[in-house]
Amino acid sequence: MSWRNSVCMSIGAVSCPNANSLVQEITKERLSPIDDFYLATNPTLTRVNPEFVEKYGQEVVGLLFVGLISATENYFRDIFGAILTTCPISQAYAADEKVQLGSLLWSQGGLQNRSAFEFLAFSSARSIKDTVKNFVDHQIRPKGNFDLMLAEYDKLCELRHAVVHSAHIVAGKNALKLGLQKTKGVLKVTLEYPELQAAGSVCTALVQSANNELYEALVKRWAQDWRQLPSWEPAKEELEFKKIVSAFLSKRDQSNGTITNSLRLKTLISQIKADFNL
């Protein structure tokens, strides 16, 4: 017996399971980034009910909340990757940006479309805005839906920091950014079913608004800027347009009939050409 063992029990040194047993390669249907987002968040937003929350408590709800933010980050990583792969304007503008060596090595000698963004966190409005500017060369429309939803998303990200890094306890920096009232005791993030659904609505609205605005920006480039480049081939204009549609089209929204103006490809191209006098 020793005083060294007088404050808590000790189970000694243990090992983490073999990392290879914790991951698996998946083969999935090729989905657009927005449909991947829907697929990732659907279980939390449609299958979790108030009874689940009451049974499993705040800690599990906090993990689901973090999952919503994670799925939103992944959407931006994927859509930025798709834009960088597709858009020569973005490629030229981002040519001087740096990527981490690990991304290149893991991609077996060639950058995959999302590898350029593996080292960036999209858990703040600022990081998303900076990446839109530095890699996409797009100025987010002031007071547009994308801009407005980024401000709401930023609030969720401040709360996420508490859940992830300090067992739901709100740090002073995050409390100040959220404009919370000062208290004598600590503040703890409390999430119930309505708050989880509200967070999901914010993330969904952000992804949808970003998807629409960035799609519009690339269509304008297809109609105007791309045609001025030496690499432009008029015979491939429809093929290039299909790449844009493939990156942004939600087949889920299309099948649900929730896209306001769902058009066939030929009709869509004709409408755009008329708008830009092509």
Domain count, the chain: 1
- Whether 34 maps to a domain, the answer reads yes
Assign 188 to helix, strand or coil.
strand
Neighbours of 21 (CB within 10 A): 8
In a domain, 1, yes or no: no
User: Is 37 a domain residue?
Assistant: yes
pLDDT for res 63: 93
Integer Cα distance of 72 and 70 in angstroms: 5
Q: Is residue 207 part of a domain?
A: yes
Residue 5 located in a structural domain: no
What pTM was estimated for this model as a whole? Answer: 0.92
Is residue 262 one of the residues assigned to a domain?
A: no
Residue 237 lies in a domain: no
User: Length of the chain in residues, anyone?
Assistant: 278
Using CA atoms, how far residue 124 sits from 56, 87, 160, 263, in Å, is 28, 25, 10, 34
Supply the Cα-derived Rg of the chain in whole angstroms: 23
End-to-end CA distance of the chain: 87
The residue range of the domain holding 100 is: 30-230
Output the six-digit token pair for 193.
């079913």
> Per the domain annotation, does 247 fall within a domain?
no
> Which region, left, alpha or beta, applies to residue 108 given φ > 0 means left and ψ of -120 to 50 means alpha?
left
Which of 22-31, 57-66, 128-137, 168-177 has the least mean pLDDT? 22-31
pLDDT of residue 11: 87
pLDDT tens track for 93-108: 998 888 777 777 776 6
